[in-house]
């Protein structure tokens, strides 16, 4: 799978997004031709520039009426009439739907009556459609975005002076990781926020990938603190869907019963542990004990450590970081003579029947579990 990872350390805007994707290899000629088919009468320039010594691409929209108001249906008609691929067309409308929802909420207006002012001007339409076209030209199948630097201070809008991030941007980035660092300026615009809010399937650290190209999209301003650029990294997945740092929590337990340890394992898994294992130990004074090991997401470390000490006789735990790699996998349902069951299928092609489903079928039919496992495996192999 081809992934685009946006590194928004200096924020994100529509023109920065388009510039970064062109800089990463999207064909500028095809992009401009697609934008011209919108029939806005605007002109588009793509030029090389620098921000704090970093070479970048600047995307500009010229000769537009930035004050013209448009409703969502009008913008959708423009997109439908343009010469775009079906994927670029659908993504463009999805982004504008997100924008419409945020504006409707901010102003307490039905989405059909929302006037797209700043975000409905021709330059923003070109930015959104341009980003969707560029992603399509690059063959990007999934978008991931870093935590977003939103900036600080205030910005002048048609509604007067507004705090940064603006109300629409806040709604678009609700539930997404954001922070404020650097100059007192609007670093994340509603257009940029809408693009990643609608198209990014995940926000956070860069996923595992083999980088094929890197592009930098320049913003309008030059800041002394950092280069005002958005970085886009294009690459193929590396075969591990998840390569993340995890915390290992360990405790040596020497005076908890098997029942207590079993219950502790249940509580830890219910609380979000990635895995829990136990192995026998011979501890000091030749006493038998148990090594309890918990794999945890970093953000769950303290919660799970507290559970270990609450549910076992351990008076302390130890931590150390580790890298965890997980092969991509999917779930397939198969039909057998005894009912349906799920099968986990790895990217490599290996598969395994879902134990709980097979256990349920075995109990319901009175058949041996091994027979159910075998029949589920045969059903998957037959239809694979």
Confirm if 325 and 243 have CB atoms less than 8 A apart.
yes
Same domain, yes or no, for 305 and 365?
Answer: no
Q: Can you give the CATH number for the domain in which 373 is found?
A: 3.10.20.300
- Cα distance between residue 101 and residue 236, in whole Å: 33
251 CB-near residues (< 8 Å, 6+ apart): 291, 292, 308, 309, 312, 314, 316, 317, 318
Measured CA to CA, the distance from residue 221 to residue 74 in angstroms comes to 32
Asked whether residue 187 falls in the same domain as residue 254, the answer is no
Query: Which domain-ending residue is among 185, 208, 238?
Result: 238
* Same domain membership, residue 274 and residue 156: no
Say if residue 66 is in the same domain as residue 186.
yes
227 and 247 belong to one structural domain: no
The pLDDT tens digits of the residues spanning 150-203 come to 999 888 877 778 888 988 899 999 988 899 998 899 999 999 999 999 999 888
- Single out the residue in 201, 216, 238 at which a domain terminates: 238
Residue 275 and residue 349 in one domain: no
Average pLDDT over residues 219-224: 92
Average pLDDT over residues 233-252: 79
DSSP letter string, 32-85? HHHHHTT----EEEEEEEEETTEEEEEEEEES--TT--B-HHHHHHHHHHS---
Tally Cβ neighbours within 10 Å of residue 288.
Answer: 9
* pLDDT score for 100: 81
Q: Give yes or no: residues 233 and 266 share one domain.
A: no
- Using CA atoms, how far residue 184 sits from 154, 155, 163, 201, 339, in Å, is 8, 10, 11, 29, 61
Instruction: Assess whether pLDDT exceeds 80 at residue 259.
Output: yes
**Could you tell me the residue range of the domain that residue 372 belongs to?**
329-383
**284 and 374 share one domain:** no
Same domain for 86 and 163?
yes
Q: Is the peptide bond before 165 cis (omega within 30 degrees of 0)?
A: yes
Report phi then psi at 363, rounded to 5.
Answer: -70, -40
Interatomic CA distance for residues 159 and 105, integer angstroms:
15
The count of structural domains within the chain is 3
Average pLDDT, integer, range 330-357:
90
pLDDT at 264: 96
pLDDT of residue 242: 53
Helix (H, G, I), strand (E, B) or coil at 376: helix
Do residue 184 and residue 82 come from a single domain? yes
CATH code at position 283: 3.30.70.1380
Asked if 18 and 108 sit in the same domain, the reply is yes
Q: How confident is the model at residue 297 (pLDDT cuts 50, 70, 90)?
A: confident
Half-sphere exposure of 243 (CA within 13 A, CB side): 9
For residue range 305-327, what is the model confidence (pLDDT) as tens digits?
999 999 999 999 999 888 777 77
Of 238, 263, 279, the last residue of a domain is 238
pLDDT tens-digit readout, 345-380 = 987 789 999 999 999 999 999 999 999 999 999 999
């Amino acid at each position: 799978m081809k992934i685009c990872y946006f590194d928004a350390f200096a924020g994100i805007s529509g023109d920065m997004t388009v510039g970064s994707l062109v800089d990463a290899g999207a064909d500028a000629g095809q992009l401009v031709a697609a934008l011209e088919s919108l029939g806005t009468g605007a002109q588009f320039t793509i030029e090389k520039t620098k921000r704090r010594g970093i070479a970048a691409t600047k995307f500009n929209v010229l000769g537009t009426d930035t004050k013209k108001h448009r409703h969502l249906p009008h913008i959708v008609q423009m997109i439908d009439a343009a010469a775009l691929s079906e994927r670029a067309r659908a993504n463009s409308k999805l982004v504008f739907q997100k924008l419409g929802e945020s504006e409707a909420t901010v102003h307490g207006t039905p989405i059909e009556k929302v006037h797209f002012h700043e975000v409905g001007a021709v330059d923003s339409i070109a930015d959104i459609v341009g980003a969707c076209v560029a992603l399509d030209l690059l063959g990007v199948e999934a978008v991931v975005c870093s935590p977003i630097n939103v900036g600080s201070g205030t910005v002048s809008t048609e509604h007067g002076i507004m705090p940064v991030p603006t109300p629409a941007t806040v709604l678009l980035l609700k539930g997404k990781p954001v922070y404020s660092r650097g100059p007192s300026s609007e670093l994340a615009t509603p257009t940029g926020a809408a693009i990643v809010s609608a198209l990014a399937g995940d926000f956070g650290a860069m996923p595992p990938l083999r980088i094929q190209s890197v592009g930098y999209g320049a913003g309008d301003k030059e800041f002394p603190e950092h280069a005002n650029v958005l970085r886009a990294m294009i690459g193929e997945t590396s075969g591990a869907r998840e390569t993340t740092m995890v915390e290992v929590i360990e405790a040596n337990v020497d005076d908890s019963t098997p029942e207590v340890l079993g219950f502790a394992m249940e509580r830890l898994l219910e609380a979000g542990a990635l895995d829990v294992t136990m192995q026998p130990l011979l501890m000091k004074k030749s006493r038998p004990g148990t090594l309890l090991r918990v794999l945890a997401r970093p953000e769950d470390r303290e919660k799970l450590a507290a559970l270990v000490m609450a549910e076992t006789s351990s008076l302390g735990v130890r931590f150390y970081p580790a890298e965890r790699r997980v092969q991509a996998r999917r779930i397939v349902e198969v039909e057998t003579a005894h009912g349906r069951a799920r099968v986990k299928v790895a990217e490599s092609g290996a598969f395994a029947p879902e134990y709980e489903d097979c256990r349920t079928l075995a109990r319901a039919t009175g058949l041996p579990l091994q027979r159910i496992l075998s029949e589920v495996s045969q059903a998957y192999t037959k239809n694979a």
